[in-house]
Structure 1
Amino acid sequence: MNLVVYLAGQIHDNWREEFKEKAKQMQLPLTFVAPMENHERSDNIGEEILGTQPNSYYKDEAASKINNLRTHVLLEKSDVVIALFGEKYKQWNSAMDAATAIAKNKPLILIRPETLHHPLKEISEKAQVTVETVDQALKALSYIFESE
């Protein structure tokens, strides 16, 4: 059995690469999908596909439509969603992806530091599992494949 895992969260550091590498070391049968990690491409994809927009508002609107299409398709195809929240960045996309996973009844593992317990309490309550580290999330995924 292979699981498709959607890695939701900020795109400003390499947490996904760390997650994938650790999963590989654990020999977990996982396929990963995620938002566009190239921030510039994500911001410009609307104009790349739909052409130059009249101003930054419409540029953002065009990009969000294309990015939302990608997210919708990849979340729909996923078996599990991992949503990572950290201290450093605003996490609106992470919250949106976690809420979408909940609405689609996709199993959700929420990764967040203890300091974000209060602001994420409602999402945490709806997640199947809430953990504080990538390693804990991987252990939860690993447990799915254990037989004894």
Structure 2
Amino acid sequence: MRLTVYLAGEIHSTWRDEIKKKSLALDLPFDFVGPMENHDRSDNIGEEILGEQPGAVYKDAAASNFNNLRTSVLMHKADLVIALFGEQYKQWNTAMDASAALAVGKPVIIIRPEKLHHPLKELSAKANATVETCDQAIKALAYIVE
């Protein structure tokens, strides 16, 4: 049985690659999906589809609509969500994705360093599991299919 995991979180580091490679090395039956990782494409998709917008706010609104569409479809198809909260980037989208997944009953694993325990305590309390590293998340995935 193959399961699909939505990887929510910042798109600027290689954490998704780490999860995918380690899962593959352990021969775990998971497929991975997530947000558009090409930042320029994500920012410009509204204009690519609808044409030039009259200003930055409209450009962002148009892009957000298509990015939210993508997220909704992929998250709906996913069996579970892993949401990574790192220390370097703002995490508004990650919090939104984790909350949306929890609201529709998707199982959620949160990855966050110990220093983010306090600001994420309520979200962690609602998640199915909270870990501190990608390796711990991989162990949780492996346990699901053991």
> How would you bin the TM-score normalised by the shorter chain?
over 0.9
Aligned match of 2:70: 70
CA-to-partner distance for each residue in 1:102-128, whole Å, 9 max, x for gaps? 001000000000000000011100000
The whole-number CA distance in structure 1 between the counterparts of 2:119 and 2:101 is: 18
Q: Match for residue 84 of structure 2?
A: 84
What is residue 2 of structure 2 aligned with on the other side?
2
How far residue 145 of structure 1 moved from its aligned partner, in angstroms, is 1.2
| C-alpha deviation, 1:86, in angstroms | 0.5
Residue 15 of structure 2 is matched in structure 1 by 15
Alignment match, 1:58: 58
SS for the counterpart of 1:137 is helix
Q: Secondary structure at the match of 2:8?
A: strand
Displacement after TM superposition at 1:85 (Å): 0.3
Gaps of 5+ in 2: none
Q: 2:58 and 2:18 mapped to 1: Cα distance? A: 35
The residue identity in structure 1 corresponding to 2:13 is D
Q: For 1:117-148, what per-residue CA distance to the aligned partner results, in whole angstroms no more than 9, with x for missing partners?
A: 000011100000000000000101100111xx
Aligned counterparts of 2:63 and 2:140: Cα–Cα separation in 1: 34
CA distance in 2, matches of 1:61, 1:145: 40
SS of the residue 1:73 aligns to = helix
Amino acid at match of 1:75: M
Q: Please identify runs of 4+ aligned residues in structure 1 that moved more than 2 A.
A: none
TM-score by length of 2: 0.99
So what's the TM-score if we normalise by structure 1? Answer: 0.98
Q: Which amino acid aligns with 1:41?
A: R
For 1:124-139, list aligned pairs within 5 A.
124-139=124-139
Secondary structure of the equivalent of 2:37? Answer: coil
Aligned length: 146
1:26 match: 26
Measured after TM superposition, the shift of residue 42 of structure 1 is 0.1
Question: Secondary structure, in 3 states, of the residue corresponding to 1:102?
Answer: helix
Distance in 2 (CA, whole Å) between partners of 1:74 and 1:93 is 15
- Tell me the equivalent position of 1:100: 100
Alignment gaps of 5+ in structure 1:
none
In the alignment, the residues of structure 2 paired with residue 60 and residue 94 of structure 1 have an alpha-carbon distance, to the nearest angstrom, of: 18
